[in-house]
Every structure is written in C-alpha cells, then in structure tokens.
A and B are shown apart, each in its own frame.
Chain A
Amino acid sequence: MKNENKIKSVSYAKWGYIFILPFFLSYAIFSLIPLADTIRNSFYEYYAFGLKTVGPNWTGLSNYTSLLSSDLPKYAWNTFVMWILGFVPQIVISLILASWFTDARLKLRGKQFFKVVIYLPNLIMASAFAMLFFALFSNAGPVNSILLRMGVVGEAIRFMESTLGARTLVGLMNFLMWFGNTTIMLMAAIMGINPSIFEAAELDGCTHTQKFFKITLPQIKPLLTYTLITSLIGGLQMFDVPQILTGGKGAPDRTTMTLIMYLNKHLQAKNYGIAGALSVFLFIISAILCWFVFKMNTDSDPDGSKSAAKRAKKGGKA
C-alpha cells in the first residue's frame, strides 16, 4: 500500500502542478501584483487635480491617519448593519423553506412554481433591481401612490430620506435577491442526508422540530458554513444596491454608505493615495475575516457530522 502511494506521487506530481498552474498564475498577475501596487500607492500623495496630476509624493502614513479621522468606522458599521438586515431573515426563511420543500410528508402544491419564483429575484441584476426600487419607492412613486390610494397612509412615506427606511430597503433587496438561492442550496444539502437517518428518527417518534434541530441542522452544517461565507463575501462587497439606490451618496447622512462605496468615491475622484490606504484597511478587515473563515473551514468537522454524512452517502450508494 505504502509502496504504491510512493510510486503514484513520483509519477503524477507534476500533473498536480500543471493543473493548479492557471489558477495561481492568474491570481498572481491579477491580484497579487495589484495588491502590492495598491499598498505602495497608499504611502504617496497622488491624485488628479482637474486635468493635471499631483504627485506621487511620499507622505508616509498620512493617508492612513486622515482616513482614520474621517468616518471610516461608520461606513464599516453601515455595511455590517445592512448585511445583517438582509442575512438574518434570509437564513431563517431559507432554512424553513428548505425543510418544507424536502419534507415528503408535507403535501405542498405548486412546489415547482414556488421554487422557480423565489429564485427569480436572484437573477435580476442588482443595479436594475436597485433602480427599480428607487423608482418604485420614490416619494411620488407607485408604492406611495398605492398606499395613498388604499388609505394606508395619509401622506407619502419618504422612504429614502430616513436612515431606517433607506437601510431597510437595502436589507429587503438583499433578502429578496438571496433567499431563493440559499433555499435551493440548503435543499441540496438536506436532500443529501441519508433518508434512512430520518426514517430511523421517525420510527423513534421524533417530531418535525426535533428532526429539524437534531438531524437536519447538524447534517447541513458544512453547507450552512458555505452559505455564511458567501454571504459574508457579498456583505463586505456590498455596493451596487446602496450605490444606485442612493445615487452614490449613501443618503441620508451617509448612513447607507458602505466601505466599497467609499472606495469607489475615491477611485472615481482618481485619488490614488487615499484609495490605496482605504484598500489596505479593507485588506486588513478581509484578512481578519479570512482568518475566521479559514479556522471555521479547517475545523469545520468538530462533531464529525461531515464525515458522517460522507460515510452515510457512501453507505447509501453501496
């Protein structure tokens, strides 16, 4: 056995390098070199002055200090709040829907229809969706027109002029765009659980709730982690929806200004120094996030559920 392994590694190792080469080459060129350049720029005063350019002049850490004295932490908080506003309902609803859709005992009519419908918003381009919401929820838009006519409100609701309103709209859009996607992902995971586990549980007289918390949840934990990861990536990068909804202003009072919107502001103004320093801050936040995710992934099987699922699957197949 040992001998065979050794032969394998000797004869095929180069193929491993060849197969992973495109990935690493592309990453080095399009991410690592730009990262180094971004960090370098962050130490310079370097911006477009009308049609002229100022710099690059070495300024050390002054870009960093001026950023820290601005509202940077506020934008980080905004980003987080709006992510939570979308993510919490998204994961809760998706878990419920996924367990319903996969419950053979639940006689759901039009299951296919619902699945198709809830996934639909995910396909809508975020910028078009935000533009649509901007038109629909504007002070003189159709939503206010409907509410006024139904007598629900006496005066038009100025959704986008209050912090709560604007953030809720962003959260609502994020929720609508992603809950169908998450539902389908979770369904795939639940379907992957060996049915015999459920059968055994039912024989033991487990209730739906018990089955959900004792079997489904632990079994799909790897995929829940995956969902959390992708959602976190999305959350940190939140840009299109608030950018277009507020026209890049993060109104009101920049309470919907996300980190990337702020970066975009400086990139558009061609302020390379500040944009560089901001990128480095973002890089640090991302690196911290990466570390958590890395820990979670490499330690994602503390209770053995993943390998249990794998074993179950293998067993099922055999």
Chain B
Amino acid sequence: MDNKKSSARTILAHVVLIILAFLCLFFFYILIINATRSHAQLQLGFSALPGSSLIDNFKSVINDPAIPILKGIQNSLLVSGCCAAIVTYFSALTAYGIYAYDFKLKRAAFTFIMAILVMPTQVTALGFLRLITGMGLDDSLLPLIIPSIASPAVFYFMHSYMQSSLPKELIEAARIDGSREFGTFNRIVLPIMKPAIAVQAIFTFVGSWNNYFIPALVITSKHKQTLPIMIATLRGADYMNFDMGKIYMMITIAIVPIIIIYLLLSKFIVEGVTLGGVKE
C-alpha cells in the first residue's frame, strides 16, 4: 500500500514539474525561434520551426548605433560584478563586526540595521539623484556600485548564517594562534562563509543585472547605459518596431550571457545553495 501511494506521489511530482518546466522554457523557446525569423516571416504569425535570419538579425542588432548593445553588456557586467563583490564582502564584514565583537553601540547598530532592513532605495531616489548630481557623479556608473556597501538584507542573511555556522570559539582559537582581526576575517571567517557568500553574490549579481529604476534615472548618455535601460528603449521607440526580428534578437542577446554563465555554474549555483545549510 505504501509503495503504491508513493508511486502515485512520484507521478504527481513529475507531472507538476514537467508543467512548470514547460512554463519556464516555453517563452524562451518562442523567443529563440522568433530571433531566427525575419520581420516579414514574423508578420505571418508564429511558426514552431526556426527561420534562417539568425545571422541577419544578429548583425542588424550589433550594427545598430541607436542601441550599442555590446557596450551595454559590458557596462552591466561591470556594475553587477562589482556590486556582487562589494555587497558580499562588506555585508559579511559588517555582520562579523556585530557578531564577533562586543562594543557599546553593538545593540544599537544591529537594531538600526534591522529597522531599515526593508527600506527601499527608491524612497530616497529623489535626494540621491540630487546628491550625486551635486557630487558630479551623475551619468556615471559609480553611484550604481558604491552605495551597495550598505545592504541591510544581505547583512541580515550573513548575520543569521554566522549565528548558525560560525562558532565563536573558532575566532578565539585564531586569536590564540596570533591571527590579527582582519586576517581572521579574511582567512578564516570568509572561507567558512563561502556558501553564504556564493548564494548572496549570485542573488546580488542578478539583482544588479536586473536593476532598472535607479540606473535609468542616473545614466543619461548612451554609451554608459546598462542593458535594462537599452531593453526598455525597445518598448518606447517607434523606430524599433519595424523589425520584430531585431527586437527578439536584442532580448536574446540581453539574456544569453547570463544564461551561459548560469549553465556553466548551474551545478554550483543550485547545489551551492542547497549545501549552504549543511556542514561537512
């Protein structure tokens, strides 16, 4: 009886998973197919089979000076990469500062961060824009990177992780071995935090890669635009609509680099997250 029941569960699980996987892949399948078809072919309605205009569409995207997409990819990678590195390092640093040391304002500092945990950056966007304009940093990539030093949510994750996975005795032991404070953090704490750092680095990278609101307000010149801003232009620009093949190709180009990175690291990403909670 137990056997029968569990095989029914297995079948149900597979059906649900297949439906969800279909849902996830179907839209991208249409995207890829349409990216291979010419505008004229697309005007005739959807076809399940790819067309032959992949190269043409690709060329017309790459050669379109109105949307310098290669520059956009470069800008996006730069901003997201730096953000991921900065966010994880400084969040771990802050979490460690509060977790490992006893100081007068420790409680207050922790309470403050917890209080601003869900404060959206959009709330201060107006003042932020005026500030960076005053600093001469408008239309620059720096204001998209530097402020991520203070990321309360990542701090919270790191702090929780430390509570469950970083025994204070280890820090004590390191001190007894003569390790300096920053040395302890960089050489002993960071490696222990690796699963948490990896998870948060990925999420931060994705978040920054996706980020549209602030960059769209900060960046004005074309060659500094990040990918989401360029993609958003597609929605509003009349001159883009005459070639749907090009639009599909541009969306494809915007998501392919990250998919390649993902596929290369997918085992690490998925397993890394799952392994995060279990100690060797």
Q: Do A and B have CB atoms closer than 8 angstroms in the complex? A: yes
A residues with a Cβ closer than 8 A to B are: 5, 8-9, 12-20, 22-27, 29-31, 33-38, 41, 93, 96-97, 100, 105-109, 112-128, 130-136, 142-143, 145-146, 149, 176, 179-181, 184-185, 187-189, 191-192, 208, 222, 226, 229-230, 232-233, 236-237, 239-240, 243-244, 247-248, 260, 263-264, 267-268, 272, 275-276, 279, 282-283, 286-287, 289-291, 293-294, 297-298, 309-310, 313, 316-317
Please, which residue of chain B has its CB at the minimum distance from the CB of A300? B160
Please, which residue of chain A has its CB at the minimum distance from the CB of B254? A128
In the assembled complex, 25 residue pairs joining A and B whose CB atoms fall closer than 8 Å, in A order, are A13-B103, A17-B97, A19-B94, A19-B185, A20-B97, A30-B131, A31-B124, A35-B123, A38-B127, A107-B10, A115-B270, A120-B25, A125-B254, A127-B212, A131-B235, A136-B31, A149-B46, A180-B24, A208-B9, A226-B160, A244-B212, A268-B217, A294-B114, A297-B117, A310-B163
Mark B73-114 against chain A: 1 for CB-CB distance below 8 A, else 0.
000000000000000001101101110111111100100011
Asked if residues B24 and A22 are in contact (CB atoms below 8 Å), the reply is no
Looking at chain A's contact residues, the main secondary structure is helix
Pick from B123, B227, B236: contact of A283, CB under 8 Å: B123
B191 to chain A, nearest CB (A): 17
**CA of A9 to CA of B100 in the docked complex: distance in angstroms?**
10
Asked if residues A267 and B119 are in contact (CB atoms below 8 Å), the reply is no
Pick from B10, B114, B254: contact of A108, CB under 8 Å: B10
**CA of A108 to CA of B34 in the docked complex: distance in angstroms?**
33
**CA of A16 to CA of B101 in the docked complex: distance in angstroms?**
5
Which B residues are CB-close (under 8 A) to A244? 212, 231-232, 235
B222 to chain A, nearest CB (A): 17
Assuming the A-B contacts A13-B102, A239-B212, are A247 and B278 also in contact, with contact meaning beta carbons closer than 8 angstroms in the complex?
Answer: no
B49 to chain A, nearest CB (A): 13
Assuming the A-B contacts A36-B127, A187-B273, are A317 and B279 also in contact, with contact meaning beta carbons closer than 8 angstroms in the complex?
Answer: yes
Asked if residues B273 and A33 are in contact (CB atoms below 8 Å), the reply is no
Which B residues are CB-close (under 8 A) to A12? 101-102, 181
Asked if residues A226 and B157 are in contact (CB atoms below 8 Å), the reply is yes
Q: Is B23 an interface residue (CB 8 A)?
A: yes
Asked if residues A267 and B126 are in contact (CB atoms below 8 Å), the reply is yes
Which B residues are CB-close (under 8 A) to A187? 273-274
Q: Pick the most buried of A128, A146, A240, A263: most chain B CB atoms within 10 A of its CB.
A: A128
Q: Is B129 an interface residue (CB 8 A)?
A: yes
**CA of A142 to CA of B94 in the docked complex: distance in angstroms?**
49
Looking at chain B's contact residues, the main secondary structure is helix
Which A residues are CB-close (under 8 A) to B278? 191-192
Asked if residues B115 and A290 are in contact (CB atoms below 8 Å), the reply is yes
Which B residues are CB-close (under 8 A) to A230? 153
Q: Is B51 an interface residue (CB 8 A)?
A: no
Please, which residue of chain A has its CB at the minimum distance from the CB of B273? A184
B203 to chain A, nearest CB (A): 8
B147 to chain A, nearest CB (A): 4
Q: Is B40 an interface residue (CB 8 A)?
A: no
**CA of A188 to CA of B101 in the docked complex: distance in angstroms?**
28
Which A residues are CB-close (under 8 A) to B269? 119
**CA of A248 to CA of B199 in the docked complex: distance in angstroms?**
32
Asked if residues B150 and A41 are in contact (CB atoms below 8 Å), the reply is no
**CA of A25 to CA of B269 in the docked complex: distance in angstroms?**
32
Asked if residues A145 and B46 are in contact (CB atoms below 8 Å), the reply is yes
Asked if residues B123 and A38 are in contact (CB atoms below 8 Å), the reply is yes
Which A residues are CB-close (under 8 A) to B251? 128, 131-132, 135
What 13 new A-B contacts, CB under 8 Å, besides A282-B120, A309-B164?
Answer: A5-B102, A20-B97, A25-B149, A30-B128, A107-B10, A119-B262, A120-B24, A123-B258, A128-B227, A131-B234, A181-B203, A243-B232, A313-B279
Which B residues are CB-close (under 8 A) to A310? 163-164
**CA of A71 to CA of B100 in the docked complex: distance in angstroms?**
48
**CA of A260 to CA of B216 in the docked complex: distance in angstroms?**
13
